[in-house]
Homo-oligomer: A and B are copies of this chain.
Amino acid sequence: MRIGDLAKATGVDIETIRYYEKAGLLPEPGREANGYRAYQQAHLERLAFIRHCRALDMPLESIRRLLDFVAHPEAECGDINRLIDEQLARVQARLNSLRALESQLAALRAQCGENHSARECGILHELVAAAHGEACACHFDAKSGSHYLLMGKQKNRP
């Protein structure tokens, strides 16, 4: 099986496959006489395993650790549990912050109904005011009331 076949079979980009090899997740396959990579069934399974874990949003390092367990089945599996727990904790933390984000954005979006000029756009006002509030809170001796957000032209745009 050549790299293109493996890519088609798993739906993984060719470059990504080579990247996993470089990263030490997928073992170097044999080569055909012309230097092309020659994969076997085991590579397909292994790649599918990696992608399944990635779909669970695990970092490559965790996957590496899991693959170590596959290679050493006599080891204790406590670390596997811990690994999954960590991953679960990461996901839940991200979920919480995204939920908060969603409601903030939804509230923001509700500030502006139809098209009008940016000057009177509720969203923009809200953002500027919120930022202003935070700047005062965090704190600095702001002259009260006025907003200083507007500055000269940006010259250093890339």
> Which residues in B have their C-beta under 8 angstroms from that of A42?
148-151
Interface residues in A93-134 by Cβ distance below 8 A to B read 94-95, 98-99, 101-102, 104-106, 108-109, 112, 115-121, 123-124, 127-128, 130-132, 134
- Oligomer: number of copies: 2
- A131 and B49 within 8 A (CB): yes
**A-side interface residues, number (CB < 8 Å):** 91
- B81 and A44 within 8 A (CB): no
> Which residues in B have their C-beta under 8 angstroms from that of A34?
none
Instruction: Determine if A14 is an interface residue (Cβ-Cβ < 8 Å).
Output: no
Instruction: Determine if A59 is an interface residue (Cβ-Cβ < 8 Å).
Output: no
- A130 shortest CB reach to chain B, Å: 5
> Which residues in B have their C-beta under 8 angstroms from that of A51?
131, 134
- A40 shortest CB reach to chain B, Å: 8
> Which residues in B have their C-beta under 8 angstroms from that of A75?
117-118
Identify 20 new A-B residue pairs, CB closer than 8 A, beyond the known A49-B127, A81-B109. A27-B156, A42-B149, A44-B148, A45-B131, A46-B148, A51-B131, A52-B130, A57-B101, A70-B150, A74-B117, A75-B117, A75-B118, A76-B116, A77-B112, A77-B118, A77-B120, A77-B121, A80-B123, A84-B109, A91-B101
